[in-house]
A and B are shown apart, each in its own frame.
Chain A
């Protein structure tokens, strides 16, 4: 029982990271129809930003976190301006290829400018200390992950419902032309979407780095894939769907760690995708997605 409660929180906290990443993907996708596969590299940007600052002698964890978040948000805005804006009106495959290109360039920048080998970023490792709560062992990090993610999602909901630019982002998901007719600048709406996706990714990145204590040039690959799966699972483009998909993915993963015997541990990721596939057989539109009419395939 103890073990179950501890693992439940573990599933929640890992799922929270996926949710944050998936939300960023979904926000950019909903306003401009772009699946930003360079999204995972935001984790790398956060990691190498912290590494660089630490190497220059700044080791205060709080400052490092703030610096990493600011850097990632800025990089997201810069990428939107120089890489994605020029191809905004091109076919969607062009945007997708641009995203892959941006990802590869960033990975190789990390590789060339620092090292192809993993580097230690131990400044946040203190968060892995366990604390005793009513006889259960939890880490400080797990509480932070769940708490901060909850606050971030609440903040996002407020932003989308309470501010004009937030309203415009929700409206643009369905009809961007009419949003422009209202006098809202398209550039502003899309840049804001990128800034938010970067900010959310930077939060996830910090947790990710705190758990691993190390960074490497390709650390963003698997997380962005998982976030993509979380989006598909929740219903692509749906923001609540991204959150639900991320949490579900985290739970399934932790559940498999618990249930699979050690001998089969290597099959963990395969099993996760098998379960996701099975869910999609029954709900192809995702958990919260709306079914799109695709025509009669039998005729």
Chain B
């Protein structure tokens, strides 16, 4: 569904990502792991068209994404829940969800989708008239995911959904992500919280200092020491 092929990304003279290839197939949950500053967020930004590519290509459902702006990519079913949630703090929960559906008119199915979000996250229904800024961290993460779902994506990219959340809430968010698979969603999940994610991801990639260190079944990374090897192996060598 998503094919990232030989992508490099630069910030001025600094190279953030070098020759990374990554594939996500329909119906999969793919984990993209790696330490801070590995280039995971840069890769997702590039997939959304917020960062230019220095080299390589990105295809989604077989279509070359390089010439499409962010809006067109969202219309084609690609969506990103950004790092740090980025809930619109001055807008109410309902208004946040409304903007999430910016690529569609407010028709009958729009209201059905709002109801679907409230079913998925009952707490958001309770808070629907509160501003995004007044929600707790966990609630904001739920709102950020719900807002992404409002665009009816086929591939949902989540950038560190567990960041800064209490362990109990993290468990709740991860359970939810697993449940989303049943809704015909394909998921690309960026996380630092690797051990939790490897339990339910199908495949995993490990990125470190801008290069791909591992790609393969998630289960193999769960073997003792394998993850550590992938994280720092090449650095020590």
Contacts and interface: CB of A to CB of B under 8 A. Distances in A.
Interface string B27-70: 00000000000000000000010100000000000000000011
A164 interface: yes
Given A175-B88, A183-B103, A164 B98 contact: yes
A180 B71 contact: yes
Contacts of A178: 82, 86, 88
B99 A184 contact: yes
A171 B98 CA distance: 12
A58 interface: no
A131 B151 CA distance: 56
A184 B89 contact: no
A182 B102 contact: yes
B75 interface: yes
Contact of B99 (A173, A179, A185): A179
B103 A170 contact: no
A170 B90 CA distance: 8
Interface string A177-193: 11111111100000000
Interface in A141-171: 161, 164, 167-168, 170-171
B203 interface: no
B217 interface: no
Contacts of B80: 181
B151 A183 contact: yes
A133 B91 CA distance: 43
B137 interface: no
B78 to A, nearest CB: 10
B98 A181 contact: no
A182 B99 CA distance: 7
Contacts, number: 61
Contact of A181 (B50, B75, B95): B50
B104 to A, nearest CB: 9
B168 interface: no
Contact-residue bracket for chain A: 10 to 19
B90 A173 contact: yes
Question: Which of A171, A173, A183 has the most B CB atoms < 10 Å from its CB?
Answer: A183
Contacts of B89: 174
B74 interface: yes
B90 A171 contact: yes
Contact of A164 (B70, B71, B88, B99): B99
B151 A182 contact: yes
Contacts of B98: 164, 167
Contact of B71 (A173, A177, A184): A184
Contacts of B151: 182-183
Contacts of A167: 91, 95, 98-99
A177 B147 CA distance: 15
A92 to B, nearest CB: 20
Nearest to B98: A167
Contact of A171 (B50, B74, B82, B91): B91
Interface string B94-110: 01001110110010000
Given A164-B99, A168-B99, A181 B91 contact: no
A173 B151 CA distance: 22
Contacts of B90: 170-171, 173-174
A180 B50 contact: yes
Contact of B102 (A170, A175, A183): A183
A168 B147 CA distance: 14
Nearest to A184: B102
B91 A183 contact: no
A183 B95 contact: no
A167 B70 CA distance: 18
Interface of A: 161, 164, 167-168, 170-171, 173-175, 177-185
Interface of B: 48, 50, 69-71, 74-75, 79-80, 82, 86, 88-91, 95, 98-100, 102-103, 106, 147, 151
3 closest A-B pairs by beta carbon, nearest first, are A183-B74, A183-B103, A171-B88
25 contacts: A164-B98, A164-B99, A167-B95, A168-B99, A170-B88, A170-B91, A171-B88, A171-B91, A174-B88, A178-B88, A180-B50, A180-B70, A181-B70, A181-B74, A181-B86, A182-B102, A182-B103, A182-B151, A183-B71, A183-B74, A183-B75, A183-B102, A183-B151, A184-B71, A185-B71
Given A164-B106, A167-B95, 8 more contacts: A161-B95, A167-B99, A174-B89, A174-B90, A181-B50, A181-B79, A182-B151, A184-B99
